[in-house]
Amino acid sequence: MINSTLFVLTGILCICEVVVRTSAQNHGNKSEEDAIHFYYYPNPLNSSEREELSLASSSSFKNAKLQRDRHAKIIVHGAGGSCLKLDFPFRAVEAYLRAKASGRENYNVFCLDYGPLGQPGPIPGDGLPSIRKRYEYVGELVSEKATKMILGLKANGFVSDFEQIHIIGHSLGGQISGFIGRKIQEKSNYQNMLGRITGLDIMNIFLVYNNEVHLKNQLDLSDAKFVDIIHTSPIGLRGDYGHVDFYPDGGLHQRSCLTKGPVSNVTEMIIGGCSHVIVGKYWENSIDHPNAIKACKAESWERYESKKKSRECRPDDSITFGEYVPKDTRGKYYLDYPLIKI
């Protein structure tokens, strides 16, 4: 009964995230394309200073205040968000800029903003397949423009290889990151791949309906040379799709979200909204504090609990969680995330 309730409520939340203001008759219009922006942050000491790269201006890339031949961090928010949303991605942008300002890292930082396309609105068509088609449309539209931007970065020497690119996407943004990864491969005749995609509690976009499974547009390990996914809530996709999948606090409900009293806790256990959002804070912390949080390899939460009790989570079984996870990591990892203020 609980699992069924979670499925239904997760579906409702997915509808709210995926559906957009425009109707099916307005698909592909210019105003929707104009709602997509690609920002960069030239000053690591001032996160409020941002500039936009534009495909419409021939001087946009030429005059960009970007370092050449550098790794790129591209952050993609979830539906209903924007690059200015504090929880994610803005605080992650700030964390990357702090790492750059300290001299610890030296990369260019970007944010892909498709804000209006993720606002709740009328459901186009009818039935679950239509919702899935709308999600695919948004993914195609946003990723097409983002891919052109990435190709522009390479053509202008800001990255020398697609392996220098790391995309970090939350919720729907995690799925859009997969679209971008696939388009880079398609446009290079499958000769190139992105270096890394990180999915933060990626949205479960009705992969199952009418007793059929649809995996065509699902982020998975084929979309980049290294794909790491962090699962934190019932809203996010269940299953292991990355080279490495992390499950903080078991991957369904985060302990820090269950500290506000009985009523709030029950709501969180059913819906998981806080657990879905808190992953952005986890990511920010992993940038600010390299190697601070470790995860232990295990096939299940129960096995992880057993390994803890028997002290089997040895150093050779544990790896760094978050931004600095070793790229050769493979498998499922669990951890108890320390309580944090939310």
- Phi then psi for residue 320, to 5 deg, are -70, 135
Cβ-contact 234, 14 below 8 angstroms: no
Distance, CA of 259 to CA of 196 (rounded, Å): 34
**Alpha carbon separation from 86 to 77, 89, 90 (Å, rounded):** 11, 7, 5
Q: What is the DSSP letter of 222?
A: T
- Three-class secondary structure of residue 159 per DSSP: coil
CB-neighbour burial class of residue 122 (10 A; exposed 0-12, middle 13-18, buried 19+): exposed
Return all residues near 202 (Cβ < 8 A) that are at least 6 apart.
169, 170, 171, 174, 175, 219, 229, 236, 237
Q: What is the DSSP letter of 339?
A: P
Cβ-contact 112, 76 below 8 angstroms: yes
User: Which two three-digit tokens encode residue 83?
Assistant: 């690059």
**Alpha carbon separation from 45 to 67, 83, 103 (Å, rounded):** 15, 18, 12
**Torsion angle, alpha carbons of 124, 218, 198, 12, to 10:** 40
Cβ-contact 254, 272 below 8 angstroms: no
- Report, as residue numbers or ranges, the catalytic residues: 171, 201, 276
**Torsion angle, alpha carbons of 154, 155, 157, 160, to 10:** 40
